[in-house]
Amino acid sequence: MAFLNAHAGHIWACDWLRVKTLTFRTLYVFVVLAHARRRVVHFHVTDQPSDLWVAQQIVEATPFDDVPAFLIRDGDPLYGQTFSRRTHARGIRTIQIPKGRPQCNCYVERLTRTLRQECLRHLIILDEKHLTWVLQEYLAYYHRARPHQGLSQETPLPQPRLLSSKGTIRSRPILGGLHHEYFRAAA
């Protein structure tokens, strides 16, 4: 944990999330998380993941050479030679966690658990397009309005605090009311 805290600004982590659709099709979500602010820098959905596809996701997650020094991942066989070549070419050092030790990739594991518990368990996913939309909506809420204990109840994208106590408190429903974002309306 000391390593993670000392180098948080230079560490990203990636992992997979499997989601069943209404028709029992399995979709795979690949997520990349920046440790410093628990910010999801990239996600993508597919029904047929491959080494080449995962390698392309790393390229898409690191535009304009905005790359981490370290990328923590598990031992999934989808992280193959193409993935290794692409991360190495971008100057990213990959760290594979030991088999059966998900706690070594705790931040992204916590994210996938949050996605399941707070979002996906409560919705019926129709298809790939629907899952992408649901995740976009939820992650906008996750970054902007959901407090994180590990960030001292801040959000991954810090929001300005309004000190005014005037105006009615309003809420905006997220995903049809599954969650709500609260704000103070102008007086």
Does 158 score more than 90 pLDDT? Answer: no
Does 182 score more than 80 pLDDT? Answer: no
Q: What strand order describes the sheet that includes 26-34?
A: 39-46, 26-34, 11-20, 70-73, 93-96
Determine the residue type at 151.
L
The per-residue pLDDT for 160 is 66
What percentage of the chain carries pLDDT values higher than 70?
A: 87
- Where helices occur in the chain by DSSP H, the ranges are 2-6, 51-61, 81-89, 106-118, 128-144
Q: Within a 10 A sphere around the Cβ of 182, how many other Cβ atoms?
A: 9
Domains of the chain as residue ranges with CATH: 2-160 (3.30.420.10)
* 165 backbone dihedrals φ, ψ, rounded to 5°: -105, 15
The per-residue pLDDT for 144 is 83
Please name which of 136, 138, 127 lies closest in space to residue 21, comparing C-alpha atoms: 127
The per-residue pLDDT for 161 is 63
**166 or 142: which carries more pLDDT confidence?**
142
Does 19 score more than 70 pLDDT? Answer: yes
The per-residue pLDDT for 88 is 94
Dig out the tokens for 29 from the structure: 């979500």
Decide: helix, strand or coil at residue 182. strand
The lowest-confidence range among 13-17, 68-72, 123-127, 146-150 is 146-150
| 29/17 Cα distance (integer angstroms) | 5
Q: Within a 10 A sphere around the Cβ of 167, how many other Cβ atoms?
A: 12
The per-residue pLDDT for 108 is 93
pTM higher than 0.75: yes
| 63/156 Cα distance (integer angstroms) | 20
Dig out the tokens for 11 from the structure: 């560490």
